[in-house]
Chains A and B, each alone.
Chain A
Amino acid sequence: MLEKMNSVKYWALIGSALLLSACANTNTGTVPVTPTEPVAVETEDPVVASPPETVDVETVMEDPATQSSLDTASGNSVAYFGYDRYDLSSDARAALQAQAAWLQTHAAVKITVEGHCDERGTREYNLALGDRRANSVKNYLVALGVDPSRIHTVSYGKERPVVTGSGEASWSKNRRSYTRVN
């Protein structure tokens, strides 16, 4: 795909070069008019018609401090937990290291860490467990150098599952923290 695009661009450049030289020649008025010249120009014309400038504008934009940017940088801004656990697995740590790195390059951003649970616990206990999870994440991000004043925590207990289902496959996805860009 890339090669194809490059070749198109290449021919476009040749085309514009030919056009420019043709124009230059016409402007001088020194070249005598001959009936054989236009054949080559006609075949190049359709290629040079589209201006490529808009592509350049997009590539100079900076990485914005948006939720989707954090999602992309850190595997959807989540960290997962074991059943009734709030300690961080190596997978969770890796995900949070990516979040911390992103937060270092976006130093003005404030976040809310949400703590969530699966449905296999009583409501009030899960509110407390979600709070534990959110604070585990906050403490680890702080240990990685993120200023604690940038991090707010909130527990949703089992009130906001991300997946609907009554089995371990769903429950393991719902036992999570989610880092929300404020």
Chain B
Amino acid sequence: MRLLKILKLVTAGFALLTFMATSPAAARIVVDVNRGHADPLPIAITDLVGSESDIVSGGSVKNYGQRIALVIKANLTRSGLFRSIDPEAFIKSGTIEENLRNPNFNNWKAIGAHALMNGSISLQEDGRLKVEFRLWDVLGTNQMTGLRYFTSPKNWRRIAHLISDAIYKRMTGESGYFDTRVVYISESGIATQRVKRLAIMDQDGHNHIFLTNGKNLVLTPRFSPTAQEITYLSYHNDDPRVYLYNIDSGKQEILGDFPGMTFAPRFSPDGNKVIMSQAYKGNSDIYVMELRTRKIQRLTSHTAIDTSPSYSPDSRFVTFNSDRGGSQQIYVMESSGKNIKRISFGKGRYSTPVWSPRGDLIAFTRQYKGKFYIGVMRPDGSGERLLSESFLDEGPTWSPNGRVIMFFRQQPYDDKGRGGETQLWTVDLTGYNERQMITPLDASDPAWSPLIR
């Protein structure tokens, strides 16, 4: 066994180490993330081998190994890039130890697998689980990666997400997005008296928690880059203002002392500022507040509606939407507020621009002829592509690797007031692999967290 690298994830309480990783050049299989609609890569994911007699809270160690494998399968399948081979097809031969260290590649080749994941799980004396996995190139007959994790049993889902991210990264060359969370607005009740609550969940919908009780109308939550704070709009005391919510402490605080309504907040990439709009005396402009000093800087001064600001990942630019040209369009300016340039020129109205974490694209909502679309364009306005279309699609948010966009979709109401269902959806940057997120109630205004550290 060759130890290459030791990474300590101190904040998350994880220790993981890479062992026996081969150089990327040796890998024969590569998943092209730009071809999400092409044949997904067939991968065999085996249950992590564990003891049936070792019991931790919630089940045997063996059972945990099965559950982790299920979560990995679900993650990779949902990405649209992989196809998990039915375990019924697996050909059994050899001892457990042989299979873990030296799999029979011919058996896996025979059932069409291009990649194989196997591994083991055991209970340590300190009560933590030790989980290790290896990813094999079946056609190239070598190991692509292997990692070992230690954590408390209640954290088992994160292990599954971390393994999913490791597999995704090794096979696509891009970082994954499975060890992430989504904050959003949970909706219930009739349209005229809608109850809205701040809620948070893992990217696969599990570990769902309501953060507010629905007494105050809340809207548009967004993560800080540390994923521990949320900025959002609350109608506390019937006075709509931007607030901060600390996920660890549950503490909420109003942001700034503005005379008018503040809304459309978003963190700067370093997390030290919040950019937002203030509506004062019927005019909305863009402001930025430094969180430490509470110093406020006004970035736009125009009689038009200027709102929905979003920083570029290098913090040098801000994109926003404005109707200063007559209709809602997308603009880019320097983060000082200088050199405002319009970038959207298509038919209809453009809004909610959000800069990709990779910096290469801006996602937006477009309205044209009674339909709403989610699309992307380059920061100079070129290369526009529409990824989704419906009666009402709105509010894109990026996966941290810039490959998947989540948004919400509202169905129309019929003449009798039925309908109006509102749900979260994801779509690949390719425009393929559109999927609905499962939430306990209706859902809107999603915001994807960065990778959890």
Contacts and interface: CB of A to CB of B under 8 A. Distances in A.
Q: Do the two shown chains form a genuine complex with each other?
A: yes
Interface of A: 86, 112, 119-125, 127-129, 131-132, 134-136, 139, 154-156, 159-167, 170
Contacts of B445: 123
B110 interface: no
Contacts of A121: 351, 367
A135 B190 contact: no
Nearest to A115: B282
3 closest cross-chain pairs (CB), A and B: A135-B282, A166-B412, A131-B279
Q: How large is the interface on B (under 10, 10 to 19, 20 to 34, 35 or more residues)?
A: 35 or more
A120 B247 CA distance: 33
A154 B238 contact: yes
20 contacts: A119-B410, A120-B367, A122-B351, A122-B352, A122-B395, A124-B220, A124-B308, A127-B233, A127-B240, A128-B277, A128-B305, A131-B260, A131-B279, A132-B283, A132-B305, A135-B281, A154-B239, A156-B217, A162-B192, A166-B412
B413 A164 contact: yes
B191 A155 contact: no
A104 B12 CA distance: 64
Contacts, number: 98
Given A160-B192, A165-B417, 14 more contacts: A86-B282, A119-B392, A123-B219, A124-B277, A128-B279, A131-B261, A132-B283, A134-B282, A135-B281, A155-B261, A156-B217, A164-B413, A164-B417, A166-B419
Contacts of B194: 159-160
Contact of A131 (B282, B321, B328, B415): B282
Contacts of A129: 305
B321 A154 contact: no
Contact of B192 (A134, A155, A164): A164
A135 B305 CA distance: 13
A86 B220 CA distance: 24
A124 B281 contact: no
Interface in B170-219: 190-192, 194, 196, 217, 219
B420 interface: yes
Contacts of B414: 166
Interface of B: 190-192, 194, 196, 217, 219-220, 233, 238-240, 260-261, 263-264, 277, 279, 281-284, 305, 307-308, 321, 323, 328, 351-352, 365, 367, 391-392, 394-395, 410, 412-415, 417, 419-420, 445
B279 to A, nearest CB: 4
A123 B277 CA distance: 13
A120 B415 CA distance: 17
Given A127-B263, A131-B261, A154-B261, A122 B305 contact: no
Given A123-B445, A125-B321, A155-B261, A164 B191 contact: yes
Contact of A159 (B219, B307, B365, B412): B219
A172 B269 CA distance: 40
A156 B365 CA distance: 20
Contact of A123 (B192, B220, B328, B419): B220
Contacts of B190: 164
A73 B416 CA distance: 31
A99 B219 CA distance: 31
Contacts of A166: 391, 412-414, 419-420
Nearest to A162: B192
A132 B394 CA distance: 22
Contacts of A123: 219-220, 394-395, 445
Nearest to A153: B282
A174 B63 CA distance: 54
A122 B365 contact: yes
B239 A136 contact: no
A136 B282 CA distance: 7
Contact of B413 (A120, A156, A165): A165
Contacts of A136: 282
A170 B328 CA distance: 23
Given A122-B352, A128-B307, A166-B413, A155 B420 contact: no
A127 B419 contact: no
B231 to A, nearest CB: 13
Given A122-B394, A164-B413, A166-B391, A127 B308 contact: no
B254 to A, nearest CB: 16
Contacts of B284: 128, 131
A155 B240 contact: yes
Nearest to B366: A122
A83 B239 CA distance: 25
B192 A161 contact: yes
